[in-house]
């Protein structure tokens, strides 16, 4: 079978199509014909050599978390799915026995990791991690959902976002940003989205953003947010100096949830402001398989439609990563292996 493999950590020029043996499913596993696999900045971190999860000993490496397709064969002991089922994979990998696996939520698992291997014609996965699709849900659309929308949904929950809330989403035009904008809209809250691109912000208004701010310096963005109002919550996947900015504009008692570090892994916190204003800073990673089931149902109900900017053949996977690296992306990019 063909896969799109990372052959080095230099960037998109190190993505190549390779032929490898087609794997078969072991106990408890299913082999899927992959129809669609979305990419995430997580994959780009790996390709740029900036991920603790994947070292050079694992090259050539096949990434791809967000897999949708059709079950071709199942291994021994699999009861949850059978050949011919249309499915999407929850990329969570958990130990099943730690206190968080026992008590929930599962994304706190002490051994938490993620599936990689979707940028391939076939993928062998844990069958229990497959969610079967209602007839109305397309594999291409649902491939855009797992990582970005599960993460955004869990962030909304961690931030306790409810109807009428004002929510700041710095960098609202990528995978997590667009997902957060749509879900904030779906719960009846209002969003402020930021970007360096006026064209992307026009599109963001079209999918439910209430306020948009164009800018790339946090001082200008912070002033513009203050003119709109003090957010009840900040959904922050950029990290870096967006953290200081977000905390300073947050209302008293407001909540900032952080899931990423695109703009930097460090930031300063004004400690007196934090405690005197009773603000919260909350870490968050991914969501649960139940969240993915909920999102698939919301898709079936047409509560939201995942935003897919571009689709690529497997042989153009390098271009998909180049587009993400160049910030030439609105929402999600999907590869068809
Ligand atoms: N912890 C978790 O479970 C989890 C899950 C998913 C994602 N994440 C993290 O969340 C982040 C977003 O992931 P994603 O897949 O949504 O990425 P993405 O699609 O590439 O995000 C693009 C967005 O980020 C903005 N951006 C890109 N580089 C920037 C920079 N240097 N400074 C400021 N803004 C920048 C873009 O702004 P413009 O519109 O101006 O181009 C755009 O709005 C990543 O850090 C990722 O690792 C974490
Ligand atoms: Zn566990």
* Each residue's pLDDT tens digit, 139-148: 999 999 999 9
pTM as predicted: 0.98
Q: Does residue 209's CB lie within 6 angstroms of at least one atom of ligand 1?
A: no
The alpha carbon of 46 and the centre of ligand 1 are apart by a number of angstroms equal to 14
Q: What is the pLDDT of residue 161?
A: 98
Q: What is the pLDDT of residue 52?
A: 87
The mean pLDDT value for 279-303 works out to 98
High-pLDDT (> 90) share of the chain, % = 99
Q: Please give the CATH number for the structural domain made up of 149-283.
A: 3.90.180.10
Q: Does residue 286's CB lie within 6 angstroms of at least one atom of ligand 1?
A: yes
Q: Whose CA is nearest to atom 32 of ligand 1?
A: 263
Mean pLDDT of the chain: 98
High-pLDDT (> 70) share of the chain, % = 100
* Each residue's pLDDT tens digit, 29-43: 999 999 999 999 999
Pairing of strands 190-195, 166-169: parallel
Q: 2-144+306-336 with 149-283: one CATH topology?
A: yes
Contact indicator for 188, 164 with CB cutoff of 8 Å? yes
The alpha carbon of 219 and the centre of ligand 2 are apart by a number of angstroms equal to 41
The mean pLDDT value for 232-253 works out to 98
Which sequence spans correspond to the domains of the chain? 2-144+306-336, 149-283
The 10 Å Cβ neighbour count of residue 52 is: 7
* Each residue's pLDDT tens digit, 214-232: 999 999 999 999 999 999 9
Instruction: For residues 132 and 143, give the distance between their C-alpha atoms in angstroms, rounded to a whole number.
Output: 13
Q: Does residue 15's CB lie within 6 angstroms of at least one atom of ligand 1?
A: no
Q: Largest Cα–Cα distance of the chain, in whole Å?
A: 60
Q: Is the peptide bond before 198 cis (omega within 30 degrees of 0)?
A: no
pLDDT of 62 > 90? The answer is yes
The alpha carbon of 93 and the centre of ligand 2 are apart by a number of angstroms equal to 9
Instruction: For residues 66 and 89, give the distance between their C-alpha atoms in angstroms, rounded to a whole number.
Output: 7
Q: What is the pLDDT of residue 260?
A: 98
pLDDT band at 53 (very low <50, low <70, confident <90, very high): confident
The alpha carbon of 225 and the centre of ligand 1 are apart by a number of angstroms equal to 20
Superfamily of domain 2-144+306-336: Medium-chain alcohol dehydrogenases, catalytic domain (3.90.180.10)
């Amino acid at each position: 079978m063909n896969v799109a493999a990372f052959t080095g950590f230099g960037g998109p020029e190190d993505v190549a199509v390779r032929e490898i043996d087609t794997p078969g499913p072991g106990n408890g596993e299913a082999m899927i014909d992959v129809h669609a696999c979305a990419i995430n900045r997580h994959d780009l971190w790996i390709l740029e050599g900036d991920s603790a999860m994947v070292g050079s000993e694992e090259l050539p490496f096949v990434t791809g978390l967000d897999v949708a397709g059709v079950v071709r064969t199942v291994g021994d002991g699999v009861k949850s799915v059978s050949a011919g089922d249309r499915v999407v994979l929850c990329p969570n990998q958990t130990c099943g026995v730690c206190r968080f696996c026992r008590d929930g939520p599962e994304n706190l698992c002490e051994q938490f990791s993620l599936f990689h291997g979707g940028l391939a014609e076939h993928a062998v996965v844990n069958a229990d991690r497959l969610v079967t699709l209602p007839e109305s849900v397309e594999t291409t659309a649902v491939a855009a959902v797992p990582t970005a929308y599960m993460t955004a949904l869990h962030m909304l929950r961690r931030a306790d976002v409810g109807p009428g809330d004002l929510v700041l989403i710095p960098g609202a035009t990528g995978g997590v940003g667009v997902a957060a904008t749509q879900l904030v809209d779906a719960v009846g809250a209002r969003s402020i989205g930021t970007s360096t691109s006026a064209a992307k912000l026009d599109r963001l208004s079209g999918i439910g953003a209430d306020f948009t701010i164009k800018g790339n310096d946090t001082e200008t963005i912070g002033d513009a947010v203050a003119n709109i109002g003090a957010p009840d919550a900040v959904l922050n996947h950029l990290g870096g100096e967006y953290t200081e900015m977000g905390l300073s504009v947050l209302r008293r008692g407001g909540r900032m949830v952080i899931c990423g570090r695109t703009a930097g892994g460090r930031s300063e916190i004004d400690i007196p402001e934090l405690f005197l204003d009773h603000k919260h800073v909350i870490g968050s990673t991914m969501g649960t398989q139940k969240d993915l089931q909920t999102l698939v149902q919301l898709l079936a109900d047409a509560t939201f439609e995942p935003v897919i900017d571009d689709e690529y053949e497997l042989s153009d996977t390098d271009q998909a990563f180049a587009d993400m690296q160049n910030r030439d992306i609105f929402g999600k990019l999907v590869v068809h292996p």
